[in-house]
Structure 1
Amino acid sequence: MDWNRTKSIFIFVFLILNIFLYWLYLERYNEAQSVEILGEKTIEARLKDDNITYGPLPNGNEFASYLTGEVHVFKNTAPDNNQRVSFMDDKHTQISAIFINPVKLRNINDDASFIDFVHTNVKDGDSYALWEVDREERVAVFFQKKNNRMFYYNDSAVLKVHWNMDDEVVEYEQTMIDNFQEMDQQETVIPPLQIFQTLYNKTLLKPDSSISQVKLGYSTFSKLDKTQVLIPTWEVQVKLSDGEKEEYFVDAIDGKIIEIQGDKQQGEEEDWGVE
């Protein structure tokens, strides 16, 4: 008996058997995966089951990158002779501008009136986008923007406009970031539906609600003395069945939910009112 030849045959047979068993394992694994995928509902189906609606979504192939910027230091000059500017901090990074002769708003029920006012009367006014108008408190809040994307609740990049009972603007407060630089190369952001999946898995999207707005902006990643790092962020606004509104912010690169309530509360608690 040729032992070497027999040993070679056994080795060959076992090799073929191992290949077959591995192939069989892959087949069964893929079948199991297919069953799991088919049995799992898509996020679209889950939202539909819970009567959570949404409108047209932004482009799922958007690109963005991290930004760095420097907190702007204002000079003691006013955009025109009708404004008296004063500093609200020792570093000259926050200003208050009071109008010697208040400026009449065209129509306080039209948001465009506030936008027109800012573009005409505020330094770099076109660098801000309207966030909200509180007509009871008579204050309009603008967030600074870059590449048409807002900086959400950043106390170094906000503009607040105050008007009186005669619908005349009497004062505004302003902070600003400049000297922007993009960090690294641009990356594809996570598509909105995947953001919905994240919020849904955290039970943040409630039945019978409506996703009223989905926009890409920036939130603050870190703050140094003069420099800030800003990360691409999805803003999701939701209208609940009782009419209340909620807003969520999700890192558009890694998909983590961002808690910026602290910045938001700080912005609300600061005394930016008219004396």
Structure 2
Amino acid sequence: MDWNKTKSIFIFVFLVLNIFLYSQYVDSYKENQNVEVLGEKNIEAKLKDDNITYSDLPTIEKAAYISGKVKLFDLPDASQGMNTMYRVEDGDTLIVALQKPVKLRNMEATGFQEFIQQYVNDGASYTLWDINKEEGTAIYFQRLQDRTFYYSLKGLVKVYFTEQGEVYLYEQTMLEQLEELEKKKNLLPPIQIIQVLYARNLIKPDSVVTRMELGYSTLFQFTQTQVFAPTWEVRVRTPEGTVEEYFVNAVEGKVVDMQLDVKAVEEEEE
């Protein structure tokens, strides 16, 4: 391994990260001048007035930025046994076709989780995110310990199945060499994240915050190296019964627009 080259890459990553974080701080400072500042007691009172409720909130105080590299698959990685045909696209996407489709025990989360753990390389490091029975696809996002990399195109598995619940194909990308960058940062508490969304009218009266979890969203990426920021995932059930999801940078308090990543994931399925 060329340690001098590796050292130079990490120095460059840290430099770019520091510049980016400073620009984010300036932007956040300017933006916050135009947003009403609400104390914790005030936001709780306002939420109560609008009948916005939430369950127990997590108490995670610190987390680090994460760097990782896009895994390049080779033939040993692709070897899946006699029942498969496989190919590697663009070096980082493993596509595995099952010559004899695998019947799921059921078409719910438990059935899909059993499949990925049994048939996909390092399947335990992915978590089920969405099942679309109309399109016959299931999406898994990669995780680091218990935290999800949201909508990272280089850290997901897409499973294709029939109406009869038989899996016939899956595609896999993976992040590797995941590690923390510098020391852990102080995180904005969940009630302040709710305040951010409330101040932007993203949480409507009579809504329920049903879930808040800490994961990661893409901060920036190079050709093979990516940096991820600690990010709060917030799910809200509206008065109409629909569920909306939002993502907020847990350090800077900026709402993360996932629309481009969501669209890219959907296009990959077509």
Query: TM-score when scaled to structure 2?
Result: 0.82
Compared with structure 1, are the counterparts of its residues 39 and 257 closer, same or farther at alpha carbon in structure 2 (3 Å cutoff)? closer
Aligned counterparts of 1:132 and 1:211: Cα–Cα separation in 2: 19
Distance (whole Å) between structure 1 residues aligned to residue 79 and residue 267 of structure 2: 26
Among 239, 252, 255, the residue aligned to 1:254: 252
Aligned to 2:87: 86
Match of 1:75 in 2: 74
Which residue in the other structure is 1:66 paired with?
A: 65
Match for residue 267 of structure 1? 265
Task: Between 37-46 and 125-134, report the one with greater CA deviation.
Answer: 37-46
Select the residue among 228, 233, 238 that pairs with 1:230.
228
Q: Which runs of 5+ in 2 are unaligned?
A: 1-36
Deviates more, 1:160-169 or 1:40-49: 40-49
| Greater C-alpha radius of gyration | 1
- Provide the C-alpha distance between the structure 2 equivalents of 1:38 and 1:196, rounded to a whole number of angstroms: 11
Contact 2:40 2:191 in 1 (8 A): no
Q: What's the counterpart of residue 102 of structure 2?
A: 103
| Partner Cα distance (1:186, 1:42) in 2 | 29
Opposite residue 185 of structure 2, the aligned amino acid is: E
1:63 deviates by 2.2
Deviation at 1:87, TM superposition (A): 2.1
- For 1:18-29, list aligned pairs within 5 A: none
Across the two proteins, how many residue pairs are aligned to each other?
A: 232
Structure 1 residues not aligned, in runs of 5+: 1-36
Q: Which residue of 2 aligns with 1:54?
A: 54
Which TM-score applies when normalising by structure 1?
A: 0.80
Identity of aligned residues (%): 43
Query: Could you say if the C-alpha distance between residues 263 and 162 of structure 1 is closer, same or farther in structure 2, counting changes exceeding 3 Å?
Result: same
Match of 2:239 in 1: 241
Structure 2 letter corresponding to 1:255: G
What is the alpha-carbon root mean square deviation over aligned residues? 1.9
Distance 1:168 1:38, change over 3 A: closer
1:39: Cα distance to partner?
Answer: 10
Distance 1:149 1:129 in 2: 9
* Structure 2 counterpart SS, 1:106: coil
Structure 1 counterpart of 2:11: none
SS in 2 for 1:237: strand
> How far is the alpha carbon of 1:81 from its aligned partner?
2.3
Matched AA of 1:72: K
Which secondary structure does the structure 2 equivalent of 1:233 belong to? strand
Match of 2:44 in 1: 44
